[in-house]
Chain A
Amino acid sequence: QSALAQPPSASGSPGQSVTISCTGTSSDVGGYIYVSWYQHHPGKAPELMIYDVNERPSGVPDRFSGSKSGNTASLTVSGLQAEDEADYYCSSYAGSNIVLFGGGTKLTVL
């Protein structure tokens, strides 16, 4: 089982939208709805932003949305704000109670 593939970096200006992809296989991303996205600011604990592909925990702004097509999941951040600058990680259930993380994407707000 390999880590899920994410682009190492993404960027956008305040107010713009940015989409981060997460590519796996039919044994993980493509095979289950259990795809999650985490925001991680250095020095802090990661925060769950999206679960089950497109569900938002309470308190997460609706600027954050998730989707999935085949073996690729995506996180879209709309109306970018300065505080959205962080590392973003996807994760997916991979069967047998195993979870895989993506390599992470550093989002820069220009």
Chain B
Amino acid sequence: EVQLVQSGTEVKKPGESLKISCKGSGYSFSNYWIAWVRQMPGKGLEWMGIIYPDDSHAIYSPSFQGQVTISADKSISTAYLHWSSLKASDTAIYYCARPRGSSTSSYGYWGQGTLVTVSS
């Protein structure tokens, strides 16, 4: 069974750094893209970017380029989303998702979401 398990709720202050994780199991982690999706409070889903764990090739939405870093460690089947300096506007639920096949879209598998709250 394919599963994506994300790290837990985070409460941080503006300016702090943060890395959240998404661990895949039940499939060959290296060979499927992993995407990150943001949902700000009361708002819709936003595609942030995607990574191919086998070679760590990452592609970012123009809206998120330079704002976050997506990485992966295929040896432990885990993808990451990293902020070097959080802002209050980064408060959101963040989901990781895996496509149902070899494509980069059509996400058939989702993590449970990680709530990130940034507040002074």
**A48 and B106: CB pair below 8 A?**
yes
> B103 to chain A: which residues have CB within 8 Å?
34, 93
Q: Which residue of B lies closest to A101 (CB)?
A: B45
What class of interface size applies to chain A in its complex with B?
Answer: 20 to 34
Is A40 in contact with B107, judged by CB distance below 8 angstroms?
no
Known interface pairs A38-B45, A45-B95, A57-B100. Does A97 touch B106 (Cβ–Cβ under 8 Å)? no
| Number of A-B contacts defined by CB within 8 Å | 71
B interface residues, how many (CB within 8 angstroms): 24
Q: Smallest CB–CB gap between A56 and chain B, Å? A: 11
A100 to B19, CA, bound (A): 24
- Report the minimum CB–CB distance from A31 to chain B (whole Å): 13
CB–CB B46/A96 < 8 A: no
Judge whether A97 and B104 touch: CB under 8 Å. Answer: yes
> Could you tell me if A104 and B47 are in contact, using CB atoms closer than 8 angstroms?
no
Q: Chain A 40-56 against B: per-residue CB contact (8 Å), 1 yes, 0 no?
A: 10000111100110000
* Interface set, chain B 45-97, CB cutoff 8 A to A: 45-47, 50, 59, 61-62, 95, 97
Interface of A is mostly: strand
State whether A99 touches B95 (Cβ < 8 A). Answer: no
Inter-subunit contact A93/B104 (CB<8 Å) = yes
A34: chain B residues at CB < 8 Å are 103, 105-106
- Pairwise interchain contact A102-B61, C-beta atoms closer than 8 A: no
- Nearest CB of chain B from residue A13's CB, rounded to whole Å: 25
Name the A residues within 8 Å of B113 (CB-CB).
45
Q: Give the residues in chain A near B47, CB-CB below 8 Å.
A: 91, 98-101
Return the chain B residue nearest A6 by Cβ: B44
Q: Hey, which bits of chain A sit against chain B, CB under 8 A?
A: 1, 3, 34, 36, 38, 40, 45-48, 51-52, 57, 87, 89, 91-93, 96-104
A46-B45, A48-B108, A57-B108 known, 4 other contacts, Cβ within 8 Å: A51-B106, A87-B44, A91-B47, A97-B104
Between A and B, 18 residue pairs with Cβ closer than 8 Å are A3-B44, A34-B106, A36-B106, A38-B45, A38-B107, A46-B110, A48-B106, A51-B106, A51-B108, A52-B106, A89-B45, A91-B47, A91-B105, A98-B61, A99-B104, A99-B105, A101-B37, A104-B44
